[in-house]
Structure 1
């Protein structure tokens, strides 16, 4: 294997691939990147056996071959080289030589034939969506995913396709985010799949805000998306996502509109003195007034008052401050609309007149 490539061309896809590779591996070869040269094309592959990213680049002066390189060492070398540096890479036995006009490096490599295959099932379904729309859908929902929850179906994101209707849902059991939109082309599909947490995070990094159409292919246990010159693949979570529809089947109080910047700033200040473990803050609603307060075991207290347009009876409800801040910060407009269930069992946060995405935060007892 032998080829030359510009450092600035190599670095972005290399960073994407290395982000998939876990720092601690049970198989040493999974700490490496698989590099294959065929007909002036470099194919780089990184996987943790749950997620895989494959990137293809054009190279010059290529001699066919395969090798695996230590991923993070290779990335660190390329990242620290001067911009626009031409890198010559050549395999010599069980070593790979990297050379630039001023630098020389030798990296040990493992046999490419031992690199594990990412076995994908036959992709039975597919649909098309723009890169920008998919990225927005992920960004508006992924922050609500659980992390290492025993209910493993919550450690991921629900992707629901119903003909041309797209719905993404994420929840950690205490809060929930929903994104709903329409695809430009009807799919004829009715499918619900759960993309794992790490897969969602890596896919979001790959996507940009452009209008480039992406083909999303999936089966009952795998998903694959082609993004620019990269192919993203992931195993799906083998489970059924819980029915969250019941949260809508209840009576609600009238929506309360609050200026988003004022609410976010007040929450941020009050949260400083909230209990560090539970992060609880209490909302007291009264005639045209919202008081937000918090206290902690050191008997420290904080209180903020906001003028609002609310003329009904008084009531109080408590939330995790960080959950509320995450929801409010993901709104794009200048107004946050809070719609609270009549029995104070949940709170919807969205923008007035905006139906694409909404957030739900469950209250807590203080």
Structure 2
């Protein structure tokens, strides 16, 4: 799970942001706001409990908070938690603005490919390499015994040749949320993080740091 869970508004939307330093997730939702607020940081354990409670709940949720506590009210449930007294990093500064190379691929097929190929890797990060060129993406992984796993998929790609490494688990976590349909990877020509988006989650942005070769 992420280490930081930040809730704030921009005057128009309620924004939820989570990060662990290697990846970031941002979601914006509309809601009735009394006023704009700078933000609160919710403990990881509390977010986990809230997620379980709201898993099968589809109605509105009322949120009240002070500088030290947050209260969620929904149905017959009231959930109260302490808040973390800290400053959240300036996450907007790490979201790239010029990732102009985009790969579009089927979510389910890509997830299954990464899962199969990454089992070859012996390291705990399950490192995978994407090599993208001329409408195809080759996913590779390497074991300490010189074993190699590789598969190639057809993709839509509007950039030049790319070779980039990722933690397979981070990619699979995002694809596991999106589940189906097309997913877009926005790459940078430099070493900036990769942005992942999907039409199924139009209000969400996922950010993943690339790994060194």
Distance 2:77 2:54 in 1: 10
What are the ranges of 5 or more consecutive residues in structure 1 without an aligned counterpart?
1-142, 146-154
Match status 1:206 vs 2:206: no
In the alignment of these two chains, the number of paired residues is 213
Compare CA radii of gyration and give the structure with the larger one. Answer: 1
Correspondence for 2:25 among 177, 185, 198: 177
Once the two structures are superposed, the pairs formed by residues 102-113 of structure 1 within 5 Å of their partners are: none
TM-score normalised by the chain length of structure 2: 0.92
Partner of 1:167: 15
C-alpha separation between the residues in 1 aligned to 2:159 and 2:28?
Answer: 31
CA shift, 1:277, in A, is 2.0
Corresponding residue for residue 151 of structure 1: none
TM, length-normalised to structure 1: 0.55
State the Cα distance separating 1:230 from its structure 2 match: 2.9
Q: 8 Å contact 2:136–2:152 — kept in the other structure?
A: yes
SS at match of 2:42: strand
Q: Find the partner of 1:195 among 35, 38, 42.
A: 42
Q: 1:106-255 alignment to 2 at 5 Å?
A: 143=1, 145=2, 155-183=3-31, 185-255=32-102
Q: Is the 8 A contact 1:279 1:320 kept in 2?
A: yes
Moved more, 303-312 or 192-201: 303-312
The offset of 1:209, in angstroms, is: 4.0
| Counterpart position of 1:256 | 103
1:313: Cα distance to partner?
2.4
Corresponding residue for 1:38? none
The structure-2 alpha-carbon separation of the partners of 1:330 and 1:211, relative to structure 1 and needing over 3 Å to count, comes to closer
Partner of 1:364: 211
Could you tell me which runs of 5 or more consecutive residues in structure 2 were left unpaired when the two chains were aligned. Answer: none
